[in-house]
Amino acid sequence: MLRPTAGSGPGNSGKCVPRVPGRMLDRPLLSVTWRDNLFAHWRVDPERVRQRLPAGLDAATHDGSAWLSVVALVMADLRPYGLPASVGRSFAQVNLRTYVEPRAGGERGLYFFSLDASDPIGVPAARALLSLPYRRAKTRAVRRGQTVRFESRRTRSDPPPARFAAAYRPTGEAFEADADPDEAFLAENYASYVDRGDRLYRFSVRHDPWRLRPVELDVRANTLFEASGFEPPSDEPIAHYGTRRSVDAGWFARVD
């Protein structure tokens, strides 16, 4: 049964640093459309997150907590920047991420513990060239009416095993995420970080600010936490549906 999850944000006591979604990318690399976006967020002890981060990153907190988020979506028409959508590749993807700040100062952003996808070309390429923690998985997202049924199961050739399955349906009116500090902390992030050896690099993306909708959500399986060394969540997530976004992604740059 789908359960409504809207109406309970992380609280208003946290600090949210404004982002600049419309900024120019120095070296555009890829274009893609993100659709059928599910955001599901859980509070976690900041120390648990810090233990699993590279030395140059610290856990960003909001309302006294660090956060782990599962984001399921369809990557539609992924292609090199400047080429038409007709040459792109489309596939379902789910990731487990947290929110970080560089210890040396800089923009708050994301750190991915895993990205599971079925694309046989993109997964090994992103892992080899960009050092992103992509894993091969059998993924699919099927829409019937307003309901999306999402399933992902990591393949045996790419351990540790992990599965995520959920049904979700947007409800209610869309609202601007950046108008609320709570939602902005969890959704409005335009940088992500990756460690390559002993060096830290940043990726940037460009898209319009998120418009979110309340969502009814039924999580049927989620072992992404355990696969990344975290205890499985015991409470209900804060969850939203993100409307379609056209995205440009830039090449990575070293963080000094």
Q: What is the pLDDT of residues 129-176, one digit of tens each?
A: 888 999 999 999 999 999 999 999 999 888 999 999 999 999 999 999
- Does the residue 24 lie in any domain? no
Q: Which two tokens stand for residue 217?
A: 């959500």
Q: Which domain range does residue 156 map to? A: 3-9+31-254
Give the chain's length: 256
Distance, in Å, from the CA atom of 103 to the CA atom of 134, rounded to the nearest integer, reads 25
| Strands 211-213 and 191-196, sheet pairing | unpaired
- Does the residue 204 lie in any domain? yes
- Does the residue 45 lie in any domain? yes
In 3D space, the residue among 186, 190, 170, 135 whose CA is nearest the CA of residue 22 turns out to be 190
* Structural domain total, the chain: 1
- Does the residue 166 lie in any domain? yes
CATH number of the structural domain spanning residue 243: 2.40.400.10
What is the model's pTM? 0.91
Condensed to tens digits (0 to 9), the pLDDT of residues 60-98 reads: 999 999 999 999 999 999 999 999 999 999 999 999 999
- Does the residue 41 lie in any domain? yes
Token pair 């940037």 is at which residue? Answer: 204
- Does the residue 19 lie in any domain? no
At residue 24, the pLDDT reads: 61
Give how far the C-alpha of residue 181 lies from the chain's centroid of Cα atoms, to the nearest Å.
18
- Please check whether residue 115 is in contact with residue 132, taking contact to mean a CB–CB distance below 8 angstroms: yes
**Could you tell me the sign of the dihedral formed by the alpha carbons of 56, 59, 61, 64, in that order?**
negative
Q: Which two tokens stand for residue 127?
A: 């892992």
- Does the residue 26 lie in any domain? no
Position 9 confidence tier, pLDDT thresholds 50, 70, 90: low
